[in-house]
Structure 1
Amino acid sequence: MVAAVVAGGAVLACLHAAGSTEESARRRVTAVASSVADSPAVVAAVVGPDPSRALQPYAEQVRRDTGVAFVTIMSPAGIRYTHPNPRMIGRPFLGHTEPALAGRAFTETFTGTLGPSVRSVSPVFDRGHRVVALVSTGITVRILDRQVRDQLLALILLALLALAVGGAGTYLVNVRLRRHTHGMDAAQLGRMYEYHNAILHTVREGLLLLDPHARVALANGAARELLRLPEDVEEREVGELALPESLRACLSSGRPCVDEIHVTREHVVVVNKSAVTSGTRDLGSVVTLRDHTELQALSGELDSVRGFAESLRSQTHEAANRLHTVVSLIELGRPEEAIEFATAELELTQRLTDRVVSAVAEPVVAALLLGKAAQANERGVELVVTPDTEIGDSMIPETLGSRDLVTILGNLIDNAVDAAMEAGGDAPRVFVTARVSGDRLLLRVADTGGGVGADAVEEIFDRGWSTKDGTRPARRGLGLALVAQVTARHGGRVEVGREIGAVFTVTLPLAREAMA
């Protein structure tokens, strides 16, 4: 391209040089001829007895001073008075003179005794404005060609210099481009872009590329879906996006993230973030996002199952102890005391079971309450199902699945049991209420713990907020965040109050359109 531009420019410059040289020659010879024709000395000499003797030295002086090829002064009949070659004096002028004889100066290209030349012929007027002589000045084409060749040589040298500079610049740009593209040409870059685009939008994991200023450079489809990102997310700063505060802080910071769990409105997301560098340059960071929602729910269910198993194991152990006690009392000859001891324990357990089964027809919720009651009892906390608890059969629609109910109740009860234990006291208790009121399901969990401070009400539902110590803080503080997420997903709300301790009230709509 550089060569084509330079060659085209050189051709145009050559054409312009040739045309301008000829035009300059025409103006030059016209000016010289007019000046000589207007000279009073020339007018006086042409009417004198010997015009050649007076005019030949003058004409040669003018020729040398102006650099033209010839200055010829002639009679109206075309007989030369002057000529660079003295032998041509007195001979007829070779060329046209008719326009000049009519009183008008003109220029032409004509071949005369000195070869082809650009010449001008001007009339010489006397005081009566009669044409008494003619003046012709000219520059030979050979001189013009030499001038054009000199200009062309300069143009060619300039073009070669421009070509060399352009070639060197092109080479340097190409080397730099190759270095930045790792030696790949345009076709290879095109294929890599196609593969890159296909991979980004087909992987199931969410992928974000952030520049050094925490602006989104790229977001694939999975990331847009997980984080509910807008269509114009590219080039926007992370701080402008509608994301949870903890996730914004993670993405905006320069620190790496490894398997951090963050809770959005609809998903539990595992975030990994690492810096991207090229040599000493900071290119930003790459963020991968994995949907952990289902796995988190399954983990919660697994924890519940494990809790049930531990409870059954503990109850089996306690049952064995009670059985040994009963057998020992019988062996000691105290059957009445053995019967009283056995029936008292059975009545306590059966009373709680009957209360839960009669009040809660939803089997999963009933099993959860029984299991949590057993777990709480092992830890010295009494779980009380309030008298107004009542969930009849078919009251809960399929859209409000049992898994979500387990997530809400299980996390609230676990936190309440922990709080009641930490507070201590003579009779730590947890009170659970689950009932349907109109078109809404009300779940309330209260404890005898220390409660939630007014300054912490807004923070307790953030991921990572926890009063517990642990070796894996990234896994702590998820319970209440999950409760808030599930509640918001179903169009409900969570309220935090304080009576004897903390009171968490979750209200969920049962109508399908409200939960959509």
Structure 2
Amino acid sequence: MGRMRAAWPRSLAGQAIALQVLVIALIVAAGSTLALIDARRDGDAAAREQVVGIATSLADAPSTAAAIESGRATEVLQPVTETVRTHTDIAFITIMAPDRTRFTHTDPSQIGGAYLGTIEPALRGETFTETYTGTLGPSIRAVAPVRDSSGRIVGLVAAGILQKSLAERWRSQWPVIAAVGVGALAVSLVGVWGIRRRLLRQTRGLRPDELRVMYDHHDAILHSVSEGLIVLDRDGVALVNDEARRLLSLPAGDVDRSDLPEFLRSFAPGARDEVHVTDDRVLVVNRSPVPSAGRSSEVVTIRDRTELQGALGELNSLKVLTDSLRSQAHEAANKLHTIVTMVEMGRADEAVRFATAELELSQQLVDRLSTAVGEPALVALLLGKTAQADERGIELTVTEETHLPAGDGHALSGSEMVTVLGNLIDNAMDACDKTDPWVEVTVNQSDTRLLIRVADSGEGMDPKTFENAMRRGYSTKSGSDAEQHGLGLALVAQVVKRHGGQLTADVSYGSVVTVTVASA
């Protein structure tokens, strides 16, 4: 048993080919045997047809009945039967009387003797065949009745072929059948060899147990990996794991290319760290080609950056506020030096007026926003953006229509409002007219809806550009800034769509972007 295991192929390709060779050899052997059996059966059938034809022809000839009735049957018919027998290569032709007395025979010494075999059906007027052992050995024979002009049976004709001769006939076909079988086996082995090479190339010579372990590990990794994983080829989706189904909201079972988001429907390997926005997520996508000698394919990995993007938005708002406070602290230091110098110069009254005027303007803005807006994060955002706009020479105005009551009954959460308003203000400050830069902000919560409107002095976007910006992110900037700010409007559209709101753009007194969300 150990030697047999050592001789048995180890690779999957080798085992498959060994089994195929064994099966093919059995099929060829069985086919050859069946061909020989069929040849023997066909030979017997042909022999029966031949002896029936000869016996019937001689029995139906008028000269046969005439010779029997004349009493000269042996003299007349023996030469005829021998001539026919010689030309047809059969064993014997015997013409006999109804009482079995032979008139003719291959062996002249048997003439006058009794015919050995069945004759009763022929005496009843039937032509029949049988296998019988006579004086020459086992034979297939046919017996036909001889009738005179009145229809009376006056004799019988028996014609036969020895089974030995038939065996020699079908045995002569063995070399042909063997040659065909060997040829079929050779062609099959050539095909099997080609299949073996292909299997070795595709399975890399691995054993079945190695392939099974590889599949088990592959399947375990696919289900446990924390990143979405999709394998695409020219025909569609070859593989998708559980995390990819969750991130892309894909159906269970087979996945078609049409089920994927639009940004994954094309075949474009090589993309690195692309950021895409779906209806409810921010995704980072990498696409790598798979080196293969066969058809082209690519591996797509997907990371969820939704929560990180929200945190980055809030962090950016705090950074803006921090930068504004730092700038204001620097400005306050300058103003403080001015005030101290004015006091030293003896102009105390002017110093007081200078100091209180600046304080009143700043405090008025803080008081108005704190009164009108009941969301602290949004107040901080507006103060920071106002200071940022002032540094950039942009006039940022919060309209008198702004009103956001305190409490939890808002259509959007505080972080969502920061995401929406912060991105809209950033886009507006980037897009406003440089010769007359201004931005106008309105946030209004009523009983039925939340309205966020940001207008700027820019030219605005045409409907097609606005649609592209909402779907994937769009920016007129270049470089890394474009990659960062290009997500702004798409993130806004994501929040609005999640709450069933509307995001519109028009150009009226400026470029106006409006968000409307129904109250809960």
Map residues 197-212 of structure 1 onto 2, 5 A cutoff. Answer: 197-212=219-234
Asked whether 1:394 is paired with 2:407, we answer yes
**Aligned in 2, Cα 1:241/1:112: closer, same or farther, shift over 3 Å?**
closer
Give the Å deviation of 1:286: 2.5
1:469 matched residue in structure 2: 478
1:339 Cα shift?
A: 1.7
Cα distance, 1:411 vs structure 2: 1.0
Kept in 2: contact 1:449–1:500 (CA 8 A): no
Distance, in Å, in 2 between the alignment partners of 1:405 and 1:396 is 13
What residue in structure 1 maps to residue 35 of structure 2? 13
Matched residue type, 1:169: G
How far did residue 364 of structure 1 move?
1.0
Residues 137-146 or 73-82, more deviating: 73-82
List aligned pairs for 1:70-469, cutoff 5 A: 70-184=92-206, 189=211, 191-212=213-234, 215-230=236-251, 234-236=255-257, 240=258, 243=261, 247=263, 251-252=265-266, 254=268, 256-279=270-293, 281-397=294-410, 400-420=412-432, 422-425=433-436, 428-452=437-461, 456-469=465-478
State the distance in 2 between where 1:4 and 1:76 align: 54
Q: Secondary structure at the match of 1:47?
A: helix
Q: Following the alignment from structure 1 to structure 2, what is the Cα–Cα distance between the partners of residues 454 and 123?
A: 106
- CA distance 1:242–1:145, change in 2 (3 Å): closer
Give TM-score, length-normalised by structure 1: 0.88
2:136 maps to amino acid: L
Q: 1:55-114 CA deviation, whole Å, 9 max, x = no partner? A: 222211110111110112223332322222222223322223333334333322111121
Q: How far apart, in 1, do the equivalents of 2:84 and 2:116 lie?
A: 21
CA gap 1:119/1:457 in 2 versus in 1, 3 angstroms: closer
Q: Which amino acid aligns with 2:430?
A: D
Report 1 or 2 for greater relative contact order, CA contacts < 8 Å, sequence distance ≥ 6.
2
Contact 1:111 1:117 (C-alpha < 8 Å) held by counterparts: yes
Q: Closer, same or farther in 2 for the Cα pair 1:319/1:8, shift >3 Å? A: same
Cα 1:343–1:8 change in 2 (3 A) is same
AA aligned opposite 1:221: D
Alignment: residue pair count = 498
The residue type equivalent to 1:383 in the other structure is L
Distance 1:456 1:75 in 2: 114
Question: 1:227-258 CA distances to partner (integer Å, 9 max, x unpaired)?
Answer: 3345577344xxx55745xx26xx42546311
CA contact (8 A) 1:270 1:289 kept: yes
The CA distance in 2 between the partners of 1:41 and 1:264, in whole Å, is: 105
Distance 2:125 2:514 in 1: 117
CA RMSD of aligned residues (A): 2.7
- The alpha-carbon deviation at position 366 of structure 1 amounts to 1.2
Q: Hey, what's the Cα distance between the residues in 1 that align with 2:124 and 2:479? A: 118
The C-alpha deviation readout for 1:429-448, integer Å capped at 9, x for no partner, is 33222221122111122234
Letter in 2 for 1:205: E
User: In structure 1, what is the Cα distance between the partners aligned to 2:108 and 2:471?
Assistant: 114
Q: Gaps spanning 5+ residues in structure 2: where?
A: 1-22
Q: CA deviation at 1:160?
A: 3.0
**Cα distance, 1:408 vs structure 2:** 0.7
Alpha-carbon offset, residue 32 of structure 1: 0.9
In structure 1, C-alpha distance between the alignment counterparts of 2:48 and 2:73, rounded to whole Å:
27
State the TM-score, normalized to the length of structure 2.
0.87
Give the percent of matched residue pairs that are identical in Structure 1 and Structure 2.
47
2:502 counterpart of 1:503: no
Q: Which amino acid aligns with 1:407?
A: T
1:317 partner SS: helix
Please state whether the residue corresponding to 2:290 is helix, strand or coil.
Answer: strand
Q: Is the 8 A contact 1:365 1:406 kept in 2?
A: yes
String of CA shifts for 1:348-390, please: whole Å, max 9, x gaps.
2111111111111211111111121222222223332222322
Do 1:464 and 1:473's aligned partners in 2 also have CA atoms closer than 8 Å?
A: no
